[in-house]
Amino acid sequence: MNETLRVMEERRSCRSFTSEPVNQEDIDKIIRAGTFAPSGMNKQASIIIAVTNKEIRDRLMEENRKIGGWSEGFDPFYGAPVILIVLADKKIRTHIYDGSLVMGNMLNAAASLGLGSIWIHRAKEEFESDFGKGLLARLGIKGDYEGIGHCAIGHIAEVGESVAPRKRDYVYYVK
């Protein structure tokens, strides 16, 4: 089977990461894959914030936990040491779709490198908050961006469930 298709079929969300750091070369490859995602009219509406700083990662985790309504001590990033945040320019009509494709490319790229990944939501709410706006300002990011998602990546601590069968009515052909 073609390697790209195999990765897409076998990739699963990882909900248990080790604390082992991800090497910068792999992080860069995953980010690069995200930058090559298709986008409406090639407007490239998305930006990626790569968080490897543990203090900032933990502050993001805490904001995400609060938004999700979980108890103190819960880590919605499942211990992943790297968080790649995708945001997209609201002025571009296809920004949500474009950002979603960036997320998909990065999730598949992580799997191709033998790393675990998971899409974590609530980026929209995070970057509408004072915390998120403050982070963007600190990074010098100007504009009106919507948080699309967090691509949490790291080394897999526990192998997840096997591939579930695809539903019967997934595809309808018009010939």
Q: Does 175 fall in a domain?
A: no
- Domain coverage including residue 7: 3-154
Adjacency order of strands within the sheet including 46-51: 46-51, 82-89, 145-154, 116-120
Q: Does 51 fall in a domain?
A: yes
Flag residues of the chain having pLDDT under 50.
Answer: none
Q: Does 22 fall in a domain?
A: yes
pLDDT at 163: 81
pLDDT at 161: 73
Q: Does 8 fall in a domain?
A: yes
Q: Does 168 fall in a domain?
A: no
Q: Does 170 fall in a domain?
A: no
Sequence letter at residue 120: I
Q: Does 161 fall in a domain?
A: no
- Please state the domain count of the chain: 1
Q: Does 14 fall in a domain?
A: yes
User: Which CATH number does the domain housing residue 101 bear?
Assistant: 3.40.109.10
Query: Rounded to whole angstroms, how far apart are CA atoms 124 and 87?
Result: 8
What is the widest separation between alpha-carbon atoms in the chain? 55
